[in-house]
Amino acid sequence: MLHSDHQCIIVFPGFIKFIQCTDDADLKNIYCRTDIFLFPSLNEGFGLPPAEAMACKCAAVGNKVAAFPEYSVNDVTAVHCDPDDADGLFKGVCSLLGNRDKLKSISESAAVEIRKILDWDNSVNAFEKIIF
């Protein structure tokens, strides 16, 4: 970690890309080129970024916050970790990096399932069942 004029600069290994800002046009392309999406958030409204990544066959590893554990299944369509457990996030990523078959299975299952779960017609039907 380097410090420069009141800024903290973290130096990542070459195989890790930290993308802080991007426009919507590039986002899908980034997800499609990414093997693992890390979602270390502690507080979210819904948690859409992991769902977007999953739809692009990118395995999501993240904290059990917001809707993430509701629209994904641990070790089937994503890897869930307890909030405030940085070691759990690390182990979750390592479990996928160390097992390419598991990574492929989760990525492919996630893409299929998230498209069913977050489909507009399915969402409307589920909402109508609640209110009628």
User: Per-domain residue ranges for the chain?
Assistant: 22-120
pLDDT of 24? 83
Rounded mean pLDDT, 19-41: 91
Strand partners, 78: 74
What is the per-residue pLDDT across 60-114, written as a single tens digit (0 to 9) for each?
A: 999 999 999 999 999 999 999 999 999 999 999 999 999 999 999 999 999 999 9
| The model's pTM | 0.83
d(CA 109, CA 73): 10
Domain 22-120 of CATH type 3.40.50.2000? yes
Question: CA separation (Å) from 5 to 9, 12, 34, 51?
Answer: 10, 19, 32, 37
> CB-based contacts of 41: which residues, under 8 Å, 6+ apart?
47, 62, 63, 65, 66
